[in-house]
Chains A and B, each alone.
Chain A
C-alpha cells in the first residue's frame, strides 16, 4: 500500500503543469547559474594571474628600494573555484591589499566597488537559486499536500478505505520528496558534467567533497521547507490559508530574520567605527613622526665625530642606527596598529558572531553560512586571509627597511640601485582544511536536521488528528 501511495504521489506530481514548469525553470536557472559562476571564476583566475604578473613587473621597475618600500607590494586574493557555486562574500570584500612600510594593509577593490549595482541585486549563484527559488518551489509542492486533498474530497475517499493514516502521510512525504528532487537532481547532475567539461576549472579531490557536501546542504534546506509545507498543510483547512502562512514564514526566514539579526546585533553589541580606529592610528603615527626629528638630532649631537675623527665610520654608524631606529619606529607603529586592530577585530567578531547566531534561527542563513564555509568564500576565510596579509606586513617591512638602508647613500643622497626581488619574502596563505570547514558547518547541519525532524513530527502528529471532513 505504501508503494501505491508513493507511486500515486509521484505520478500525480510529475504529470502536473506545475512540475513541468518547475522542472524547466530549475534546469534553466541551475545550469545558467553554474555556467555563469564557472565563467566568472575563469575570468577571475585570468585577472588574478595578470594582477600578480603586473605587480611583479611594477616592483621590478622601481628605481630604488625606497620607492619600492613606499609603493609596497600588492597581495592578490586567489579566486576560489567553488565560488562558482557559492560566491559568499567574495564579491563584497576586496580582492587586493597593498603592503608597504607605512600603512596597515587592508583588502580593497571589491567587485561591488567596481560596479555598485551588483551589491543591490547580489550574485545569481547556485546557492541563491536554492535559497530563494527552490525553497519557494518546495512550498509550492507541499502547501496543499494534505489540505488540498481535503478540499478535493480525495482524502475522505482515501480514508474510507483500510488505509492507516501514518502510512498515508509517510507515502505522501516520500513520494512528494522524490517528486521535488527530480527537478533538482537532474539539473545538478548536468551541472557536475558542465563543471567537468568547462575549460580552465581546476577542481581538486577535496573540492568535489566540498561540492557534494554543499549539494547535501541544499537537500537538507529544501527538506526543511518541504516538511514545513506538510506541517502547515496538516494544520489548516484551506489551501489558500496554508499558502499564505507558508509565504509569510518563507519571507520571515529568507529575508527578515537575517536582516533583523544584523541590525539587532549592531544595536546590542556596538563597536567603534572604522574612522575612530583610523583616527587613533593616525594620532599614534603623528606622535612617532613628531619624535623622530628630535631623536635623530639627539643621536647626531651625541655621536657626531669630533674634528679629525673618521667621517665615513660615523656615516656607517649613523646608517646602522637609522636602520634600527626606523625598524623600531615601524615596529612600534605596527604594534600599536595591530593592538588597535586586534581590539577592533575582537569587538567586530563578537558582533558578527552575535548576528550569525541570531540569524541562524533561519534555515536560509544556515544555508548561506554553511555553503560559504564549504566553498571558502565566507567571512572567516576573508578574515584569515586579511590576518595573513597583516602578518606578512612586518616581514615585508623588515626586508624593505633593510634593503633601503643598505642602499642609501647619505653623502650623495642617492637612494640606491635597481631593485632585486629574489630574496623578497613572499606571503603564504593556506586555505582552511576540509575538516575545519566541515566542523564550522556542523551547527548549520544540526539546525537543518532539527527543523526537519520537528516539522515532520509536527506534520505526522497533526495528520493523525486531522479533521478530514
Chain B
C-alpha cells in the first residue's frame, strides 16, 4: 500500500510543487494521477522514491516512512519511468540481470528472465539484442519487466505510456491490469486519459501541486473524462475545493 499524508514539497526557490497531498493506494488498486506539466505528479513520485525530502508530511510504503527508512522502503517498491533508457550496450538479458541483482534477487536463471520478458510482450529475438537498438515501446516493456521480476507490492509509474504506439500501449495496460489482479498497488502519473479510463480504479486531478479532484471508477461512469480533464486543468479557483 502507498500512502501520502499531508505530503508537501516547497523548493528552495519558493515554488510550492506539492501541496498537502493526502491519498492512499490500496492493494489491488490502480490510481491514475492527471495534471499538466509542473502540476506536481512527478514530485509526488520523487517523494515516494525519497529522491527529494518532503517539506512537510509523510510518504509511506507498506507503512514504512520513506525518509526514516529509505532503503527498507525500496524493498517494497518498483519504479517505471517515463522514458526507460537503460544501458544501451547491454542486451535485454544483461539489463534485466543487473537490475534484478540490485533489487536483491539472487539465483534467477535465464529461464526466469525469459519468462519475465515474455510476460511483458517482448519478442524472443529481442532478448539478446542490445537495447540501443530497441524502440521506445520495447524499452518501456523492458522497464516493466524489471518491475515485474522485482515483484514488489507497489508500483510507481511516471507517464509510462507516453510515446507508445496503440498496440504497445494496450499491451502495457494489460500488464498493469494483471499486476492489479495480483494485488499490487499501482500509482501512475499520466496525461493519457483514454488509456487511464480503461484501467483506473480511481483518478486524481492535480493543479499547481494540489489535488483538486478525485473520482472513482464508479464516479466516472457516464462522465466525459476529456471534458473533466480540461475543466480541472484550467484555472478555476472555484473548482479547487472539489
> Nearest-CB distance from A37 to chain B (Å)?
36
**CB-based contact A1/B102 at 8 Å:** yes
Contact pattern, B 155-177, Cβ under 8 Å of A = 1, otherwise 0: 01000000000000000000000
Contact residues of B between 27 and 81, Cβ < 8 Å to A: 42, 46, 49, 51-52, 71-72, 74-75, 77-79, 81
Total contacts A-B at CB 8 Å:
73
How long is the Cα–Cα vector from A305 to B77 in the complex, in angstroms?
119
Asked if B94 CB lies within 8 Å of chain A CBs, one says yes
Contact pattern, A 149-162, Cβ under 8 Å of B = 1, otherwise 0: 00011101111111
Q: Which residues of A contact B75 (CB under 8 A)?
A: 162
> Nearest-CB distance from B37 to chain A (Å)?
14
> Nearest-CB distance from A226 to chain B (Å)?
20
How long is the Cα–Cα vector from A157 to B143 in the complex, in angstroms?
9
Most chain A CB within a 10 A radius of its CB, from B79, B81, B87, B103: B87
Asked if A115 CB lies within 8 Å of chain B CBs, one says no
**CB-based contact A159/B51 at 8 Å:** yes
Q: Chain B: how many interface residues by the 8 Å CB criterion?
A: 33
**Cβ-defined partner of A16 (8 Å) among B42, B77, B85, B89:** B89
Asked if B99 CB lies within 8 Å of chain A CBs, one says yes
**CB-based contact B85/A160 at 8 Å:** no
How long is the Cα–Cα vector from A162 to B102 in the complex, in angstroms?
7
Contact pattern, A 1-35, Cβ under 8 Å of B = 1, otherwise 0: 10011001001100110000000000000000000
**CB-based contact A157/B84 at 8 Å:** yes
Contact residues of A between 133 and 164, Cβ < 8 Å to B: 152-154, 156-164
How long is the Cα–Cα vector from A153 to B99 in the complex, in angstroms?
13
**CB-based contact B94/A160 at 8 Å:** no
Contact residues of B between 67 and 119, Cβ < 8 Å to A: 71-72, 74-75, 77-79, 81-90, 94, 98-99, 101-104
Asked if A467 CB lies within 8 Å of chain B CBs, one says yes
**CB-based contact A154/B79 at 8 Å:** no
Minimal Cβ-Cβ distance residue in A for B90? A12
> Nearest-CB distance from B129 to chain A (Å)?
13
Q: Which residues of B contact A5 (CB under 8 A)?
A: 102
Q: Given A12-B89, A469-B46, A469-B51, check contact A160 B71 (CB 8 Å).
A: no
How long is the Cα–Cα vector from A159 to B71 in the complex, in angstroms?
9
**Cβ-defined partner of B87 (8 Å) among A8, A162, A163, A164:** A8
Minimal Cβ-Cβ distance residue in A for B79? A160
Contact pattern, A 385-418, Cβ under 8 Å of B = 1, otherwise 0: 0000000000000000000000000000000000
Asked if B146 CB lies within 8 Å of chain A CBs, one says yes
Contact pattern, A 42-82, Cβ under 8 Å of B = 1, otherwise 0: 00000000000000000000000000000000000000000
Q: Which residues of B contact A159 (CB under 8 A)?
A: 49, 51
Q: Which residues of A contact B83 (CB under 8 A)?
A: 153
How long is the Cα–Cα vector from A156 to B104 in the complex, in angstroms?
17
Q: Which residues of B contact A182 (CB under 8 A)?
A: none
How long is the Cα–Cα vector from A163 to B83 in the complex, in angstroms?
21
- Which 3 A-B residue pairings sit nearest by Cβ, starting from the closest? A160-B79, A152-B85, A161-B102
